[in-house]
Amino acid sequence: MIKTLIFDFDGTLFHTAPEIHRAINATLSDMGHHELQYEEVKNCIGQGLLYLLEHLKLDIDMSPVGLKKLAHQFRDHYDNYFLESKPYPGMYDFISQCPQKLAIGSNKDVKYINACLEQKPWDNIKWLSINGGNSFPTKKPDPEMIEDIIKKSNCKPKEIAIIGDGIPDVEVAKNTGIYCVAVSYGYSPVEELLAQGAHTKIDKISELPKVLESL
């Protein structure tokens, strides 16, 4: 029986890609770089800001100093993310009625996660833990942030499932011995997640309870 659910954030709980795309293009405009298409940005979301920037194939200074400058400018533009980023349909109703313990394990900086979850009605949800990409020295698929949640849950790994839309979610499940439920509505092709080792998939959050019964 699954007793604890760990949710990824971008592309799983909240649809954040449009606002990330906007902030990326505003940053690139500042630097005289051409804008990127939505799909180019969306496909790189999920492994933290530096990974995102490094994998956009930008024709600008990508040295450590240049990358740091780019990240700083992005954060300046990524200001209204908690107003523009929206939960997926049915997500709040599901989370607010969920009988399992709930946690977040994301590679997104925790301050951005908290800013979204501090908005009503999400501020009523009681989370076991909210772990972001800067909560520990490592990010998913390193097991550190998920092992922290396992410890806090007082559950065995096989009583825990991570719900996510990216390869890091699949890999961290392998690295910690928990289940992985891939979502098809997120930012990675669900077929790739299943091929990589996700245990099962859902197309919408209302399918999750039935899927959990099969794990």
Give the percent of the chain with pLDDT over 70: 98
Q: Tokens 């940005």 belong to which residue?
A: 41
Q: Is the pLDDT of residue 15 over 90?
A: yes
pTM above 0.75, yes or no: yes
Q: Is the pLDDT of residue 41 over 80?
A: yes
Q: What pLDDT is attached to residue 200?
A: 98
Among 25-34, 77-86, 107-116, 135-144, name the one with the lowest average pLDDT.
Answer: 77-86
Q: Residues with Cβ < 8 Å from 120, sequence gap 6 or more?
A: none
* 161 bridge partner residues: 5, 179
Write the pLDDT tens digit of every residue in 67-82. Answer: 899 999 998 888 766 6
- The Cα–Cα gap between 45 and 165 comes to 10
- As a whole number, mean pLDDT of residues 99-116 equals 95
Q: Which domains does the chain have, with CATH numbers?
A: 4-15+85-213 (3.40.50.1000), 17-82 (1.10.150)
Contact indicator for 169, 140 with CB cutoff of 8 Å: yes
The model's confidence at residue 136, banded by pLDDT at 50, 70 and 90, is: very high
Q: What pLDDT is attached to residue 81?
A: 65
Q: What pLDDT is attached to residue 175?
A: 98
Q: Tokens 């501090």 belong to which residue?
A: 118
- As a whole number, mean pLDDT of residues 156-172 equals 98
